[in-house]
Amino acid sequence: MFNYIVRRLLQAVPQLFVISLVLFTLMQSFGDPLASMGARTPARPEDRKRLERQLGLDEPVIFQYAVWLVGNDWMKIDLDGDGVRETPGRRKGVLRGDWGTSLVTKTPVTRVIGDRIPNTLLLMIPVEIIIIVLSLVIGVYSALRRYTLADNVITTLSFVGYSMPVFWLALMLMYVFGVYLKRWGLPYLPTVGMYDPQLGKTAQQVALHMVLPVLTLSIISVAAYGRYVRSSMLEVLGQDYIRAVRAKGVQPFAVTFRHALKNASLPFVTLIGLDVPFLLAGAVVTESIFAWPGTGRLFIDHTERADFPVLMGILMMISVLVVVFQIVTDITYSFLDPRIRID
């Protein structure tokens, strides 16, 4: 298994290189980072030229990418024929841990993203636990009682939950639990932020502010993944080896959870493995609606201002997480299904 992990990590290096090159190239036509640096007053042409030279934005894309990747300690260029000059802003490059400086906050990208990651993890870890537990419980229960009244009710609610847009569901939850309950004089839930500034950042305040975002992210995913688990369970329960196990007199509980669920959960593991990296990178819509200070909202805020270094940092973080969780998913396969060998 160790050799497999090392081989997969080595294969990921050229993949991440190509991804970073494509993302960096696309960023050049994404927006103008200098347009928002002068607030409401547009920068004068001479100021724009000076800023472009200071930030290295007047260099060709390939040089900008090289500076971003490996730094500019070695680089001296002559762009306009007026003599060799060093690239501005000494940098070590991403390969040496220097992800650059935010064009908006003038702070290192690692600090900007690092300040938001704990908030996102605080929100996403409960979401992922709820999704995994409820999806398995609902899917297995529905499969064992297929075509009954309970199965039909669960199926209907699942289709309703899965068909709701996330922004609409978030607004409805805010309206019901934050507006209507308050209007009726009942205990209500906060709708924005991470805590009430007047009460401070206490555990109770953070927990109350987490309820609605967690519900929003969980409802849609549970509705979708529960259907996948149900379909997989029905397919596995109809296999010959399950009939053979039952014929040997094995207890129904052991048949369901020891033999059937392990194989039926393989597609579910694939979905979770693809979903976790994007959840850890932040739920863009949900964090924006509930004003939750996570990486999703950070991405939106810095997208509006074309902050390329921060955007590249977030996108590359997602890319690395996807590669890592693909490896984790493959390893999980080998534990769930002994027929799958990892060499």
Cβ pair 264, 235 in contact under 8 A: yes
Cβ pair 101, 308 in contact under 8 A: no
The sign of the dihedral angle between the CA atoms of 46, 50, 55, 60 is: positive
Contacts of range 14-22, beta carbons closer than 8 Å, 24 or more positions apart: 15/323, 16/316, 16/319, 16/320, 16/323, 19/316, 19/319, 20/65, 20/69, 20/94, 20/312, 20/316, 20/319, 21/65
pLDDT score for 214: 93
Nearest to 187 by CA among 195, 178, 196: 178
Exposure b/e, 266-289, CB count within 10 A at least 16 = b = bebbbbbbebbbbbbbbbbbbbbb
User: Using the 8-state DSSP alphabet, how is residue 138 labeled?
Assistant: H
Structural domain spans, the chain: 35-102, 109-336
pTM of the model: 0.82
* C-alpha span between 105 and 302 (Å, rounded): 10
Cβ pair 281, 319 in contact under 8 A: no
pLDDT score for 42: 60
pLDDT in tens, the chain (343 residues): 778 788 888 888 898 999 999 998 888 777 666 666 655 566 667 666 777 776 667 677 888 888 888 877 655 544 444 444 444 556 678 888 888 888 888 889 999 999 999 999 999 899 999 999 999 999 999 999 888 999 999 999 999 988 888 889 999 999 999 888 888 888 889 988 898 888 888 889 999 999 999 999 999 899 989 988 999 999 888 888 888 888 888 888 888 888 888 888 888 888 888 888 877 776 888 888 999 999 988 988 888 888 888 999 999 998 898 888 888 888 888 777 767 777 6
CATH 1.10.3720.10 applies to domain 109-336: yes
Residue 77, classed as helix, strand or coil, is strand
* C-alpha span between 259 and 29 (Å, rounded): 53
Q: What are phi and psi of 185, to 5 degrees?
A: 80, 20
**Length, in residues, of the chain:** 343
